[in-house]
Amino acid sequence: MKPPQNHCRGYLPHIEVKKLQFLTFRLYDSLPREVLVQAKMMVEHLQNLDSSVDKDTARQREMMRLIDQYEDAGYGQCFLRDPQVAEVVQDTLKVHDGIKYNLLEWCIMPNHVHVLVNVLGDYSLSQILHSWRSYSAQKANEILGRKGQFWMHEYFDRYIRDHRHYTSVVNYIANNPVKAGLARTVDEWQWRGSTALNAW
């Protein structure tokens, strides 16, 4: 079996072959520059490690915790707080559901979006994400009366390894608004959805 192929956009490697993927994409100003620089240094360090070394290190987990803190604190202008903008993003995620991918779990936060998706056919993750971000950025900028960059160029993706990982990701996405203090319960947050319960 051919191993997954890594593709690099900017400084984060992305795996295109695995079909079940957890994605996070963010508004362009959702993280301070120094955090992005630290993330770049961490990724470069991990890529230089011997392939036999487990790359899911404490350093990597600590970096993800730092990024989570900025996201959940609502860093940046948080354009996705605007209900019209959030609705555009949600509708964009749903438009090719069942055609190019199965949309299993999603949550639109004020400055970032989490998605669990099963890619269908020969469509690539990068094509799908480009479509989402290009269309939603254009519409959101129209609503907000602004021009320029809307989404951060980089995005995070990780393929789902097994059932335990799948369950963990579903719970993480669903509970993100509660963890961030935006809702008291999972069901209170309007900008999320799930078809994941029976998908595995």
Per-residue pLDDT, 17? 47
Burial class (CB in 10 A: 0-12, 13-18, 19+), 61: exposed
Q: How far apart are CA 65 and CA 176, in angstroms?
A: 13
Per-residue pLDDT, 67? 75
Q: Which domains does the chain have, with CATH numbers?
A: 18-194 (3.30.70.1290)
- From first to last of its 200 residues, the chain has per-residue pLDDT tens of 333 433 333 433 444 446 899 999 999 998 877 777 676 666 566 556 555 445 556 666 666 777 777 788 788 899 999 999 999 999 999 999 999 999 999 999 999 999 999 999 999 999 999 999 999 999 999 999 999 999 999 888 888 989 999 999 999 999 999 999 999 999 999 999 998 765 66
Per-residue pLDDT, 148? 95
CA R_g for the chain: 16
Output the pTM of the full model: 0.79
Per-residue pLDDT, 12? 38
Q: Of 42, 12, 8, 41, which Cα lies nearest the Cα of 25?
A: 12
Query: What backbone phi and psi angles, to 5 degrees, belong to 153?
Result: -65, -40
Beta strand ranges found along the chain (DSSP E) = 6-9, 12-15, 20-27, 101-108, 112-119, 151-159, 192-194
Per-residue pLDDT, 40? 65
Per-residue pLDDT, 160? 92
Q: Of 135, 108, 84, 99, which Cα lies nearest the Cα of 189?
A: 108
